[in-house]
Amino acid sequence: MSDDIRALTARLADEPSSLAFLELAEALRRRGQLDAAAKVARGGVSRYPGLADAHDLLARILSDMGDLAGAFDAWTSALQLDPMRAAALKGVGFLYFRAGDVIAALDHLQRAGQADPDDPSIPLAIARVRTDVRQQGAPRANGAPAPSAPPPRPPATPFEGIEGGEEGFLLVDGNGLRLSGSLRVPSGEEAGDRVAAQLAGVSREAARATRILGLGSWHSIAVESPEGHLYLAAPTADTVLLAACDHSLPVARVGLLAERAARSARAWLEGMG
């Protein structure tokens, strides 16, 4: 028994009601002592049934053990307690993928991406699921083994996998020309080029305003109107990203989506060379 596991075991013995079980079970899992890890985690879950961390940990251990049904149940319990828990959403998404339910897999992975936009593994996982679907032609049968991580296809647009990415984002250059994305007005008409033209120079104008007012460089512009929200960000010094959404989404949430789209656009532009 390693020193850290011995110390954690002693701590848990001294204080059975402490949360030391989380560290102990995780340490055991990492050492490959999965039966012992599961026993400790189950004890923690029974003592703290309202602790999402405990269910999440048990799910990861069960997943490592190959008990996918048990892992699914544990992650589902974690999500009942914390619906936007990214790790659990990723886990359930992976299990749906394994089971061949691509739609549910993508749904969970996209929600995971919203919950943790900084986790780079999530867009990769989404791309992997989509690539697999294209290669296989249809979702795989329940229980079939996962593919051996084919390299993700470079996305055709920067907005794949982002909520509203089909017709809610525009990437515009400094001269008001559309680089990517599309925008449909509420009446259904495509308005990407007209909107892009209005954005020519907006980045320079915003930069000038914030500089003269002593506010440093600009970060974003949120525009609220009765019908919906616009949100502008600058993926690079020469481009502007615009996100548009109806008023069913709070403007702060539109901002989170736009920030994520801006990061994706930056990577896409770098990939274009």
Partner 1 sequence: MNARNLLDRVTRVPGVRGALLVAATDGLVVAEHLMDGVDGRAAAALAGSLVGRLARTAREAGYQRPSFVHLKAEAGSVLAAPGSDDLVLVAVVAPDANLGLARLEMIDAASRLG
| Footprint on this chain of partner 1 (rule: CB under 8 A) | 183, 185-187, 189, 191, 194-195, 197-199, 202, 205-206, 208-210, 212-228, 230, 242, 244
Cβ(58)–Cβ(41) below 8 Å: yes
Q: How far apart are the first and last CA of the chain?
A: 52
Nearer to partner 1 by Cβ, of 120 and 186: the residue is 186
Least separation in angstroms between CB 200 and partner 1: 9
Nearer to partner 1 by Cβ, of 161 and 165: the residue is 165
Torsion angle of the four alpha carbons 4, 6, 12, 15, in this order, in degrees rounded to the nearest 10: -100
Cα 253 from Cα 231, distance rounded (Å): 10
Least separation in angstroms between CB 116 and partner 1: 22
Cα 87 from Cα 163, distance rounded (Å): 19
Least separation in angstroms between CB 221 and partner 1: 5
Question: What is the DSSP track for 6-61?
Answer: HHHHHHHHH-TTSTHHHHHHHHHHHTT-HHHHHHHHHHHHHH-TT-HHHHHHHHHH
Nearer to partner 1 by Cβ, of 144 and 215: the residue is 215
Cα 241 from Cα 255, distance rounded (Å): 11
Nearer to partner 1 by Cβ, of 30 and 219: the residue is 219
Least separation in angstroms between CB 249 and partner 1: 14
Least separation in angstroms between CB 184 and partner 1: 8
Nearer to partner 1 by Cβ, of 127 and 196: the residue is 196
Least separation in angstroms between CB 188 and partner 1: 9
Nearer to partner 1 by Cβ, of 18 and 210: the residue is 210
Cα 223 from Cα 182, distance rounded (Å): 18
Q: Which three-class secondary structure string do you get for 235-270?
A: CCCCEEEEEEEECCCCHHHHHHHHHHHHHHHHHHHH
The residue whose two tokens read 């790790």 is 87
Nearer to partner 1 by Cβ, of 110 and 239: the residue is 239
Least separation in angstroms between CB 247 and partner 1: 10
